[in-house]
Every structure is written in C-alpha cells, then in structure tokens.
Amino acid sequence: MSGVIFLNEWDPPEALPPTRRALREPNGLLAVGGALTPEWLLHAYRRGVFPWFSEGQPILWWTPDPRAVLFPDEFRRSRSLAKSVRNRGFETRLDSAFADVVAACAAPRREEHGTWITPAMYRSYVELHERGIAHSVETWQDGRLVGGLYGVAIGRVFFGESMFSRSRDASKVALSRLVDEALDRDVRLVDCQMETAHLASLGSRCIPRRHFEALLDEHCTGVGDLWRG
C-alpha cells in the first residue's frame, strides 16, 4: 500500500488526508488507521470518505472515483417490485430494530467469507443511531424482520451502508420506502458508495468524485435531518 497515509487512533479526525491523495488502485483507498468514534465517522462522511475493512485488518478509509449514488427521483420501481409491495404482506418501519438490522447485515453471505461489519463497526453505528444520526429501514412479514438497510443521515444526504434480505424483494422494499421518505423530506442524494449491478438496476449511477463532493458541500448541512419532523 505504497503512498497510503497511516494514522494513529489518537489522531484527530482532521488528520484524514485530502481526498485527492486517494489511490487509483485499489480505487479510492485513502488512509489506514484512525478511529471509529462518532466524531471520526461524521467528519469522514461529510468529506465523502467511509470505512470499509475486514475483521483482522486495520481501519481502511475509502473515497472511490467515480462514486455510485442514487438520486431519489431516479429510483426504478419495477412493476414486479410494486406488486411485491402491494401483495406479499410486507410492512416497512423506520428505526424500530436498528441493531438487529446491522447484525443481519453483518451475517456472512453465502458467496462471502467473514464480514466487513466488525464488532467495532457494529458498536460505532449503534452509537450513531443512539445519537439520532444513523437510521434503519426495516421490512417485516408476519411479524418477522425479513429485510432492511441502514445508513447515516447528514443534512439532505443519506449515506447507505448495507442491506440484507431473507425474503425475495425484502431489501428492495426497504429501499423503496427509503426513497419515498427521501422524496417526502427533500433528501437530495443517497450515497451507494460502490457500483453494483443490483443497485444499478434500481437506478443508481456513477458520478465523478469531484461532483459528489460538490453535492456534499451543498447538502450536508445539519445532522440527522432525514428522520426529523
């Protein structure tokens, strides 16, 4: 990782280097180390930087270029998804089981080994939730939590972190509810971090990092506004 900045856990969040220092390969790796305190996380998100690392690794901070985002009015709600919302007995809720959603997102997937949501990450986002900054959207069916997502709300931006599904379309239903909330509450941008075919099929697209950072400068005013009011 030649060229990467190494940080100490006692460094202030301002020690994160400018995003122009991020590597091209691996795309967006900016720094190693630091801390996962709410202060670090909020400072990083406002600058378009997020933590992503596996258990046993140091904290890795990323800011990929281009950046995958979803503009709420570009969400693609297919007819099959609309039918699932209407006919499959799903109920969506906000912030009723945040810790359970993060734990479900942390569970190993069939195609993966281990998890990037380490115990330290879990504790950090639960603390952000307790401060009213991190939020979950849950999909319930017959009284069971079957899907959901969580992320961080700063101003008019929702920084999506992860989603899970235990029933067909359950995570898409949660995303659909998030988009409805975003449109109702004038949230301008959902950060998807990395490009995936799944999110692209739902309307996400990639924009240059400089464009993404300009949007953050415009819309990241205040903390936790998404669920307020």
Query: Tens digit of pLDDT for each residue in 38-90?
Result: 999 999 999 999 999 988 899 999 999 999 999 999 999 888 888 888 878 89
Same domain, 20 and 74: no
164 and 148 Cβ atoms separated by less than 8 Å: yes
Instruction: Tell me the C-alpha distance between 64 and 226, whole Å.
Output: 24
Same domain, 212 and 132: yes
Tokens 């959901």 sit on residue:
148
Same domain, 82 and 98: yes
Instruction: Tell me the C-alpha distance between 16 and 13, whole Å.
Output: 6
Q: What is the pTM of this model?
A: 0.93
Same domain, 30 and 99: no
Containing structural domain, residue 35: 5-64
Same domain, 120 and 218: yes
Domain count, the chain: 2
Q: Of 108, 167, 165, which is closest to residue 137 (Cα–Cα)?
A: 165
Name the pLDDT band for 113 (thresholds 50, 70, 90): very low
Query: Tens digit of pLDDT for each residue in 135-156?
Result: 999 999 999 999 999 999 999 9
Mean pLDDT, the chain, whole residue set:
91
**CATH number for 163:** 3.40.630.70
> Residue 226 above 90 pLDDT?
no
Same domain, 135 and 34: no
Same domain, 74 and 40: no
> Residue 114 above 50 pLDDT?
no
Same domain, 78 and 167: yes
**CATH number for 51:** 3.30.70.3550
Same domain, 130 and 113: yes
Same domain, 39 and 82: no
Indicate the residue among 46, 64, 82 that finishes a domain: 64
Indicate the residue among 64, 79, 108 that finishes a domain: 64
DSSP string, 166-225: SSTTHHHHHHHHHHHHHHHTT--EEEEES--HHHHHTT-EEE-HHHHHHHHHHH--SSSG
Name the pLDDT band for 2 (thresholds 50, 70, 90): low
Same domain, 20 and 112: no
Query: Tens digit of pLDDT for each residue in 199-224?
Result: 999 999 999 999 999 999 999 986 65
Indicate the residue among 64, 86, 114 that finishes a domain: 64
Give the SS3 label for residue 23. Answer: coil
Same domain, 188 and 218: yes
- The pLDDT value given to residue 161: 96
> Residue 125 above 80 pLDDT?
yes
The percentage of the chain sitting over the pLDDT mark of 70, rounded to a whole number, equals: 93
